[in-house]
A and B are shown apart, each in its own frame.
Chain A
Amino acid sequence: MKRYSAFNLFREGLNGHKGWEPAWRSPQPAKSYEAVIIGGGGHGLAAAYYLAKRHGLKRIAVLERGWIGGGNTGRNTTIVRSNYRQPQIQRLLEFSLKLWEGLSEELNYNVMFSQRGALFLGHSDSDMTRLAERGDALRCNGIDAELMTPAQVARLIPLLDMSDMARFPVHGALIQRRGGTARHDAVAWGYARAADALGVDIIQNCEVTGFDIQGGRIAGVRTSRGDIATDRIGMSVAGASGQVAALAGFTLPIESHLLQAFVSEPVKPMIDTVIMSQSIHCYISQSDKGEVVLGGDPDLYPTYSQRGVPHRLEEVAGQAISLIPALSRLRMLRSWAGTTDMSFDGSPIIGTTPVEGLFINGGWCYGGFKATPGAGWLLAHTVATGAPHEINAPFGLDRFAAGATVDEQGTGPMPQAH
Chain B
Amino acid sequence: MLLITCPHCGDRAQAEFTYERPVETVIALDATVEVAVETLYNRANPRGWSWELWRHTHGCGAWLRLHRHTATHEVAAVALLEAGA
Chain A interface residues toward B at CB < 8 A: 242-243, 246, 251-256, 300-305, 307, 309, 311, 344, 400-401, 413-416
Contacts and interface: CB of A to CB of B under 8 A. Distances in A.
Contacts of B40: 344, 400, 413
B75 to A, nearest CB: 11
B43 interface: yes
A242 B44 contact: yes
B45 A416 contact: no
A344 B41 contact: yes
B55 to A, nearest CB: 12
Nearest to A245: B45
Contacts, number: 62
Nearest to B43: A255
Interface residues on B, range: 20 to 34
Given A309-B14, A400-B37, A304 B70 contact: yes
Q: Is the interface of B mostly helix, strand, loop or mixed?
A: mixed
B42 interface: yes
B19 A413 contact: no
Given A256-B70, A305-B72, A251 B14 contact: no
A253 B41 contact: yes
Contact of A252 (B18, B43, B46): B43
A307 B70 CA distance: 11
Contact of B70 (A251, A302, A401, A415): A302
Contacts of B12: none
B70 A303 contact: yes
A252 B45 contact: yes
Nearest to A256: B45
Contact of A303 (B13, B18, B41, B71): B71
Interface string B21-50: 110000000000000010011111111001
Contact of B41 (A242, A304, A309, A400): A400
B7 to A, nearest CB: 19
A400 B40 CA distance: 9
Contacts of B18: 300
A305 B45 contact: no
A391 to B, nearest CB: 23
Interface in B29-85: 37, 40-47, 50, 52, 70-73
B72 A302 contact: no
A251 B46 CA distance: 10
Contact of B43 (A242, A301, A305): A242
A302 B50 contact: yes
Nearest to B22: A302
Contacts of B72: 305
A302 B70 CA distance: 6
B45 A254 contact: yes
B15 interface: yes
Contacts of B50: 302
A305 B43 CA distance: 18
10 contacts: A242-B46, A254-B45, A305-B72, A305-B73, A309-B14, A400-B40, A400-B41, A401-B37, A413-B40, A413-B41
